[in-house]
Structure 1
Amino acid sequence: MSTSLADWQGVPPPSAQRLEGRFIRLEKLDPARHGEGLFKALQGPDADPKLWDYLPYGPFPERSVFDAWLNNHAAHSDPYFFTVIDRASGEVQGILSLMSIVPAHGRVEIGHVAFGAPMQRSPKSTEAVYLLAKESFALGYRRLEWKCNNANARSKYAAERLGFSFEGVFRQHMVVKGQNRDTAWYSILDSEWPTIGAGFEKWLADDNQTDSGQVKTLVECRA
């Protein structure tokens, strides 16, 4: 895009109710329809025991507290939450959001990522992020952010694999669950998205995601 922003008018806030992918679809969070599946995926006996380690809330052993958490987020537009639905089975398998939404400056973040075990290390988790990134840049956002606890090795690895550029660490940025959090910052800019987006599409394509697994890695598809 042009470096001049003399005519910049900002961008609209997210409003999508459904985003369709090959492996999953994203539906705007509806606790009445998604609550049971989300509780099973995120808090059930087969849930990832490390899921809540770096999130500012959870775990939720009591369903009533979990439902209150969902209802609170569903009632607000920032964060703007989506539920992840497996297209093949129709199962609810995770949740994530667009957050820190600043339409006036074209800045938005992907966060509150909580994927059930069937999504982890699968094309579904990558596609969920791709769909939100694609929607963000289609709306005209200039900057897509990813932030995480600097001690969260899994999230930092994911950010770099997904094409986000590391920008630095905010030291003593937060106090979360009674502990210091240094926050690692990552971003994708709109000028970078055509190449990064094409890499996602190549990685998710039928000829790369075969019955025996991926042919090329996401990094290779982006090269």
Structure 2
Amino acid sequence: MQRRTNEFGQAIGTPVPDWHQAKLPDDTPLTGRYCRLEHVNVERHADELYAAYCRASDARDWTYLNVGPFDSLDAYRAYVTRIADLTDPFHYAVIDLATGKAVGTLSLMRIDAPNGVIEVGSVTYSPLLQKTRAGTEAIFLLMWHAFDTLGYRRFEWKCDSLNAPSRAAALRYGFTFEGIFRQAIVYRGRNRDTAWYSIIDSEWPAIRAAFNAWLEPANFKADGIQVRKLADLVDAQRVRTDAG
């Protein structure tokens, strides 16, 4: 790429002449093949979500979150009542289309519409959603919404650097690791070094194609086992894009 300079000989970034700020999320449901994302609502979702989270045998799913676990339905309903009124983070309930039940939540957060930057966060999957097609599709629906509908340029994933499952998930979904922000947060009375990952708009078409291929019913055998892994499809699409 040719180095750009200004009249003083200083290096400057690539022009973005047609940029207009991105849009903000709204209450529009996002529907896929296996799940639907709805703006979280205490009366529609809280009881189902609490029941789904109670399916876990212990509290390990809450270790790297700054809330929970919740010891009663009333406590969880109070939490959902509070987050339902927020616009940033903007929380969604994940509805399993096979059962019609809410089985997890996630959010769009740290929303910077003028610069086109947005983050997925507060990913809280119950045992009914973990390691399912619907769980993967929920992330895809937020990516698709952010890039193709709302017009963002950058989609971020951040997590505790010690959260190995979250870091592995980010790479599986096609995010690029950018580094560690040391002593970034204090939560639950302990330090968090934060691992940063991102996808930018120029990378999105290849990643979108990989997700679409992975989510196809033909990619799964009769017993539900995947034929091709999502990470392999992402890598293949990247190679194809680079070659083109």
- Confirm whether residue 143 of structure 1 aligns to residue 154 of structure 2: yes
| Conserved? CA contact 1:48–1:117, under 8 Å | no
Report the structure number with the largest CA radius of gyration: 2
* Structure 1: runs of 5+ lacking an equivalent: none
How many residue pairs end up in the alignment?
A: 220
Report if aligned partners of 2:47, 2:73 keep a CA contact under 8 Å in 1.
no
CA distance in 2, matches of 1:145, 1:221: 20
Which runs of at least 4 in structure 1 moved beyond 6 Å after TM superposition? none
Structure 2 equivalent of residue 164 of structure 1: 175
Query: Aligned partners of 2:162 and 2:177: how far apart in 1?
Result: 14
C-alpha separation in 2, matches of 1:221 and 1:204 = 11
Change in Cα spacing, 1:51 to 1:86, as seen in structure 2 (3 Å) is: same
Distance 1:130 1:107 in 2: 17
After superposition, residues 26-37 of structure 1 pair within 5 angstroms as 26-37=37-48
Following superposition, the deviation at residue 45 of structure 1 comes to 4.2
Q: Distance in 2 between matches of 1:155 and 1:121?
A: 12
Q: Does 1:91 align with 2:101?
A: yes
Asked whether the equivalents of residues 79 and 99 of structure 1 are also in contact (C-alpha less than 8 Å), the reply is yes
**Structure 1, residues 142-201: CA drift from partner, whole Å, max 9, x if none?**
000000000000000000000000000000001110000000000000000000010000
Question: Which protein is richer in strand relative to its size?
Answer: 1
Matched, 1:215 2:224: no
> Which residue identity does 2:166 align to in structure 1?
S
The 5 A counterparts of 1:105-124 are 105-124=115-134
The answer to whether the Cα contact below 8 Å between 1:34 and 1:92 also exists between their aligned partners in 2 is yes
TM-score (normalizing by structure 2) = 0.87
Return the TM-score normalized by structure 1.
0.95
Task: Name the residue aligned to 2:215.
Answer: 204
- RMSD across aligned positions (CA): 1.2
Name the residue aligned to 1:187: 198
Task: State how 1:67-78 maps to structure 2 within 5 Å.
Answer: 67-78=77-88
CA–CA distance in structure 2, aligned partners of residues 7 and 133 of structure 1 = 22
The Cα of 1:49 is off from its aligned counterpart by 2.9
**SS of match in other structure, 1:70:** helix
Which one of 50, 67, 87 corresponds to residue 57 of structure 1?
67
